[in-house]
Amino acid sequence: MAMDRDPATRTKSEAFWVLSGLHAVWWYRLTHVLWGWGWRFVARFIAQLVRWWTLIEIHPGATIGNRLFIDHGAGVVIGETAVIGDDCIFYHGVTLGGQGDERHGRRHPTVGNGVAIGAGAIVLGPVTIGDNSAIGAGAVVLIDVPADRTAVGMPARVLPRSSRRSRS
Enumerate the domain spans of the chain.
2-160
109 class by beta-carbon count within 10 Å (0-12 exposed, 13-18 middle, 19+ buried):
buried
Q: What is residue 145's three-state secondary structure?
A: strand
What are the catalytic residues? 92
Residue 151 in contact with residue 132, Cβ under 8 Å?
A: no
Give per-residue pLDDT as tens, 128-153: 999 999 999 999 999 999 999 999 99
pLDDT at 49: 97
Give per-residue pLDDT as tens, 2-24: 656 766 776 777 767 778 889 99
Taking the model in full, what pTM does it have?
A: 0.88
Class of domain 2-160: mainly beta
The residues of the chain scoring below 50 in pLDDT are 166-168
165 class by beta-carbon count within 10 Å (0-12 exposed, 13-18 middle, 19+ buried):
exposed
Radius of gyration of the chain (CA): 15
